[in-house]
Amino acid sequence: MAMTKQALFTRTLLRGLVSIAVFLILWELGARSKQWLMLDAFEWLRSVLAAVGWDKKYLPWIGAVPAPTEVLKAWVAVLGEQGYWHSWYMSFFRVMGGFIAAMIIGIPFGLLLAVSRTAYGIGFPVFEVLRPIPPLAWVPASIIFWPTQELSITFVTFLGAFYTIVINVVGGAKSIDVRYFQAARSMGSSQWDIFRRIILPGTLPSIVVGSAVGMGITWEVVVAAEMISGGGSQIGGTSGGGLGFFIWNSYVGGSYEQIVVGMISIGIAGFLSSELLRALGKYVTPWLRLR
């Protein structure tokens, strides 16, 4: 049993590595050839496109993207810069700030909506009216509303995670099997006991899922908010703007390799925070960790 699992794991790992390697090679070749996937070799395709009135120049051109080797070079150069690491720090700081605030406010709020009919009646309509507004639409209002840029970016990040967490908590708590409540009540549980030992653990898996999704949204939002608000740092310049501003600044400065460096950095940052959350989630829900 353990053997086959081991074998399965290495095979999956191998496939993953091969797929990434193939991707990088294609990218490198494409970027170096300065052609769009060797379109010239596909004369017929070009004539088809021309026939429907589509000029070749309107096609995305991989030759314009820096090759992975060049990106790596730029990355190595930037690794020594304090500004790059500070961007990491700033984005992480904002994501964590917004995310943790969303957990601290969202989980109790969601639980309250789930257990109290009155709270649900009063709170949910407002929540539902505000929810469809995308967090990024809040950026200008947020900048006006909050005293510092830092707070306004964190607030928008908070919104990104908040709705998802609340929706998941409410849904999770409401879908707890009614027989658990019946069994608990039969055995003499008080309301508080039911909350603590049935509702809370019963909602935990949904909290974990909501947090994971919320974390993803948080990264999307923070990057965009940093770009829109110009980094919003007191330190100023590239150094304090976060990874989103790092990308924007690289674009403005014409350093295309750095754009890709920034993109991959965000990918890594998002992956790391998701993994951290996943590990934490597994830790708090040991009963789901069975296979």
Residues near other proteins (CB under 8 A) are 177, 179-180, 182-190, 193, 197-198, 201-202, 204, 285-287, 290
Amino acid sitting at position 34: K
Q: How far is the CB of 211 from other proteins (least distance, A)?
A: 17
**CA atoms of 139 and 153, how far apart (whole Å):** 7
Please name which of 263, 230, 250, 239 lies closest in space to residue 83, comparing C-alpha atoms: 239
**Closest CB to other proteins among 95 and 208?**
208
* Closest to other proteins by CB, 132 or 188: 188
Rg of the chain, C-alpha, whole Å: 24
Q: Alpha helix locations (H) across 231-255?
A: 242-252
Question: Cα separations (Å) of 150 from 94, 168, 199, 250, 264?
Answer: 8, 28, 36, 21, 24
Min CB(150)–other proteins separation in Å: 39
195 SS3 class: helix
Report the residue number, 57 or 179, with the smaller CB distance to other proteins.
179
CB of 169 to other proteins, least distance (A): 16
Neighbours of 231 (CB within 10 A): 26
Q: The tokens 């494409």 sit on which residue?
A: 30
CB of 154 to other proteins, least distance (A): 33
Nearest distance, CB of residue 181 and other proteins, angstroms: 9
What single letter denotes the amino acid at residue 127?
F
Write out the H or E segment, with its range, that includes residue 23. helix 2-33
Going from the C-alpha of 63 to that of each of 44, 57, 247, 264, the distances in angstroms are: 21, 12, 20, 19
CB of 274: closest distance to other proteins in angstroms?
23
Q: How far is the CB of 240 from other proteins (least distance, A)?
A: 44
Q: What is the rounded CA–CA span in Å between residue 65 and residue 31?
A: 6
**Cα 195 from chain centroid?**
31
Q: How far is the CB of 196 from other proteins (least distance, A)?
A: 10
Q: Which is nearer to other proteins, 22 or 288 (CB)?
A: 288
Is the distance from CB of 214 to CB of 165 less than 8 angstroms?
yes
Decide whether 51 or 187 has the Cβ nearer to other proteins: 187
Q: Residue 276: CB partners within 8 Å, gap ≥ 6? A: none
* H or E element in which residue 75 lies: helix 68-79
